[in-house]
Structure 1
Amino acid sequence: MSDGRRGAPEAVDGVLAALADPTRRRLLDLLAAQGEATATTLAEGVPVSRQAVVKHLTVLDAAGLVSGSRVGREVRYAVRPAALDATARWMAALATDWDRRLAHIKRVAEAAERDAG
């Protein structure tokens, strides 16, 4: 791929797109702290309407980051960590790859400096 995401599965793309929004990150933080919550409860912790919270939760659900389950008339949302864990593993592998590349560049530069001196 030429877009810099070499090998990133589609699920990672969805997670990164969902996490790009600060309101969605805040909703995940709130859910992680509360365990589970309704959209109404979550709306109390963010500066957007309940309807906007529901739209954000829909994006988070599509990315596999939250799930909603009906309890009576309410829908309770909870964090689903698997997609976030997979994204963190992908990012760690990417960081390791860059560390390896940078170490190689450093060795080449040091060798060139020794040869020139």
Structure 2
Amino acid sequence: MLSDSVQEYDPAPLFAALGDRTRLSLLAKLSDGHTRSIAGLSADTRLTRQAITKHLRVLENAGLVMSTKVGRTSQFAFRPEPIEEVRAYLAGVSQQWDDALLRLRSFVER
């Protein structure tokens, strides 16, 4: 049985956003702390600006990036908070599995 804190948090949208190679690549570029435009993110790739925009919107909807308008362009920045939330979630799930395995071990060794 999952604890209340693990049950309350829904990591599925975040995992869905992270479940794409292109989006992971965009996050890796943005994780250096510098904001970038769509043009800057599409440089050195075969992807169109339209494709980059689509992926950035998925990341933005998951809370992993934020955009700000600078003139006529949007600048995108990485938001680490959702990663910390999912890390805490996974730590809780891991602890629950450790506890379950200890209970099983105790039962088997009786």
Which TM-score applies when normalising by structure 2? 0.86
> 2: CA distance between counterparts of 1:81 and 1:101?
31
Secondary structure at 1:7's aligned position in 2? helix
Structure 2, unaligned runs of 5 or more:
none
> 2: CA distance between counterparts of 1:46 and 1:92?
35
Residue by residue over 1:73-117, the C-alpha shift from the partner in whole angstroms, topping out at 9 and shown as x without a partner, is 211000111112111111111111111111211222222xxxxxx
> 1: CA distance between counterparts of 2:106 and 2:39?
56
Q: Which residue of 2 aligns with 1:59?
A: 58
Secondary structure at 2:63's aligned position in 1? coil
Structure 1, unaligned runs of 5 or more:
112-117
Which TM-score applies when normalising by structure 1? 0.81
Q: Which amino acid aligns with 2:77?
A: A
Secondary structure at 1:33's aligned position in 2? coil
Q: Which residue of 1 aligns with 2:23?
A: 24
Alpha-carbon offset, residue 33 of structure 1: 2.0
> 2: CA distance between counterparts of 1:95 and 1:8?
16
Q: Over aligned residue pairs, what C-alpha RMSD do you find? A: 1.8
Query: Bigger radius of gyration, 1 or 2?
Result: 1
CA contact 1:27–1:46 (8 Å) conserved in 2: no
Q: How many residues align?
A: 106
Displacement over 3 Å in runs of 4+: none
